[in-house]
Chain A
Amino acid sequence: MLESLLALGGLVLLRDSVEWEGRSLLKVLIKKSALRGEQVHVLGCEVSEEEFREGFDPEINSRVVYHDFFRDPLNWSKTGEAFPAGPLAALRAVCRRTAPGPATIALDSLSWLLLHLPCTTLCQTLHTLSPQGSCPGASTPAEQVHVLGLLHEELHGPGPVGALSSLAQAEVTLGGTAGQASAHVLHRRPQQRPTNKVDPMAHLTFNLHLSEKEREARDSLTLPFQFSSEKQQALLHRRPGPASSHIFSEPDAYDDLDQEDPDDDLDI
C-alpha cells in the first residue's frame, strides 16, 4: 500500500480525525521515502523537532531536513530567525530547495497552514510544488516531487477540504470502528491520452463508409430546412392573383352533400 501511494508524484493527502491520528502514518511514509534515498523536507508546524524525529533511525534522521515552524511561527519570541515572512515564504523556500532530483516534502500540517493562509493561496503554492506545475513535460521519475500533506479533516469546511482533495493524486482517509483502525485510499489517476488508438469503426456489421460518388451526392443535396437564395426569391416574389388556385372536388358515391347545410355531417 505504501509503495502505491508513493509511486506517483504529486500531493498525497492524509485526512485524519481526533480519534484516529495520522501523524504516525505520515512518519511511516517519510521513513519509506528516506529509505529509497530521497531527501525529505519536513515543514513542521505542530510538533517540536525532537518529538517529530522521535522513533526514526539515525540513518533516516540524516535524510530528514526539519524546517522548524513550530517554535516561533509568528515571531512573538522576537528571535528574528527562521521564517520572518510568514508561512507562505517558508513553503516557497522548501519548494525552492528541492529543485533538483527526487524529493519528498512533508507538510505537518495543512490544517495549520489553512488556518493562517487563504485557501486559494495555499492551493496555488501546492500546485507549484507538484511536478506538473513546476516543470511541464518533464515528469521522469528522477524529477518527481512527492508532497505529503496531513489534514485534520473536521477542522475545515467542505470547501477547503474539497479544493485540497481535488489537487491530490491520492487520498488516505483514516477512520475505524471499535479499536480497529482503517484507511480508505483513493487514487486519482493522472489524465493520460491513450497510446494505442483503437478504431471503433472496425468489425461492424453495417457499412459506415461512403464512396466518393456517394459523398458528392450527399454534399450537393439541399436539405429542406436550409435557406437558399432561390428560396428567398420564391418567397419574396409570389405569383400575383388569388384566382390562380382551384379546388377540385369529386363527391364520393355515398356522400350525402346538402347544398343548403354543408356542415350537416358535423353534428354541432
Chain B
Amino acid sequence: MFPELNNLLNTSPDRAEQGKLTLLCAAETDGSFLVHHFLSFYLKANCKVCFVALIQSFSHYNIVGQKLGVSLTAARERGQLVFLEGLKSSVDVFFQAQEKTHPLHFLREANAGNLQPLYEFVQEALKPVDSGAAAWRCPVLLVDDLSVLLSLGVGAVAVLDFVHYCRATVCSELKVPRAAGSQPGPQGPGHAQAYVHHQSHLVLRAEGLATGFCKDVHGQLRILWRASQPTAQRGRSLTFQYKIQDKSVTFFAKGMSPAIL
C-alpha cells in the first residue's frame, strides 16, 4: 500500500468503498505496482479478497506483499484471501483429468465459449459465510490481468460477460493493460478495454513517458473519476508523474521531479 496514492485518491483502508469498479491499465509501461497497491490496501482494510492471478506466481505476490507490509500466506491461512494461481492451475487443467467445474476449464475447450466456471469460482470464494461473515468488511475481486484471457483466445464478449457478472456480484479491481499491438476490429482487446472503461467508476492509467525512459521519472499516472461520483468529482482527471522505489512510490506534479528541480 502506498500512502501517497491513497492521498491522491482521497481514500484510506478504513474508508474502502463498496460496489465500485476500478480499472487499472498500463500503456507502454509496467502497471503492476497498482495491483500490488490495491492487494495490500484491501488486505489491510480487512476485506475478503479473491485474487485471480494469471500473470505471476503466488510467491511473487507474496514477496512483494511482504515489502508492502502484508503477508499473503497468513491472509490465505486465515481465510481472508482466496488466491487462484493461474500459472499452476493451467498446468493441472492440461495434465490431469478435471471435472467441468475447474475455473480455467475454458483452456481445454476448442473454441473458448464462456467464462462461467471462472465466475462461479469467484462467486463461491466471495460468498458471505455465516460464521465469519462479520469478520470481513466487503468482498473484493482483483484480476491480474484481464488481457491474458484475451490472449488465451477467449472472445472479447465472453470476457465482458465475465466482468459484467463480477460487477453484478462484487465490486472489483481489474487490471487491463492495453495489449501492445492491439488488433483492429470490433473484437480486438482495445474494444474490450474501452467497454470496461465505460463501466468503471475510477480509472487509473499508468503510461510511459512520451519522451522515453528516464532514471528518475518512471512514468505518469492518469486518474479519472467517472460517473456516479459526487458532481464535484465527476469527470475530473488528474495526471501525476511517479517514481517507483524499493518499498514505495513517490508521486509529483508533471515536471516537478526532485531530480530535476
Contact = CB atoms under 8 A, between A and B. Distances in A.
Secondary structure dominating the interface of B: helix
Contacts of B105: none
B212 interface: no
Contacts of A111: 195, 198
Interface stretch (A70-78, A221-229, A252-260): A70-78
Interface centre among B19, B116, B120, B191 (most CB of A within 10 A): B191
Nearest to A75: B116
A181 B227 CA distance: 14
Interface in A173-191: 179, 181
Contact of B228 (A54, A76, A77, A115): A54
A76 B19 CA distance: 20
A155 B227 contact: no
Contact of A156 (B119, B157, B186, B227): B186
B198 A21 contact: yes
A51 to B, nearest CB: 6
Contact of B194 (A18, A21, A72): A18
Contacts, number: 55
A76 B195 contact: no
B197 A73 contact: no
A159 B169 CA distance: 34
Interface of A: 18-21, 23-24, 46, 48, 51, 54, 70-74, 76-77, 111, 115-116, 152, 154-157, 179, 181
Top-9 shortest CB links A-B: A18-B197, A21-B227, A152-B198, A115-B157, A76-B116, A71-B168, A157-B186, A155-B191, A154-B194
Interface of B: 19, 114, 116, 119-120, 123, 157, 160-161, 164-165, 168, 185-186, 191, 194-195, 197-199, 224, 226-228, 235
